Amino acid sequence: MERVHAAAVRFDLHVPESRSLKTKRAAIRPIVDTLRHKYRVSVAEVDFHEQWQRTAIAVAVVAGSDGHLREVLANVERVVAHAPGVELLDVETTWLDAEASVPGSLVAGDD
């Protein structure tokens, strides 16, 4: 079985010009859309939902090789770091360790 290469990245962001949730989401939407469409990654706003000037987005990446995974992660971080209207406060990356996985599959309803 081939090894799985996957990671999740959390970006904590400050949106200094935001004065409402609507303007915050308007600043974040182009980032999310760019990441989804250009890099084919999963993206979600994961924290600070009710704060006007803070947000956190998480990005999940799965790739066929470690090199490709790292390339996509670098590109994703570059997009977020250079996005207009936001300041990157923190980046936290979690790597999937396929070696630690238990063989088999999970089936809905199994406990």
Q: Rounded CA gap, 71 and 65, in Å?
A: 10
Residue 48: the pLDDT is 92
pLDDT in tens, 41-69: 999 999 998 999 999 999 999 998 999 99
Token code pair at residue 27: 């600043």
Residues 6+ apart with CB under 8 A from 47: 12, 54, 55, 56
pLDDT in tens, 59-99: 999 998 999 999 999 999 999 999 999 999 999 999 987 65
- Kindly tell me if the per-residue pLDDT of 106 is higher than 60: no
- Kindly tell me if the per-residue pLDDT of 1 is higher than 60: no
- How many angstroms separate the most distant Cα atoms in the chain? 51
End-to-end CA distance of the chain: 25
Spell out the domain ranges in the chain. 5-96
Residues 6+ apart with CB under 8 A from 52: 15, 18, 19, 20, 21, 23, 24
Name the pTM for this structure: 0.83
Q: What is the DSSP string of 15-72?
A: -TT--SHHHHHHHHHHHHHHHHHHH--EEEEEE-TT-SSEEEEEEEEEESSHHHHHHH
- Kindly tell me if the per-residue pLDDT of 111 is higher than 50: no
CATH of domain 5-96: 3.30.70.1120
Residue 4: the pLDDT is 82
Residue 3: the pLDDT is 78
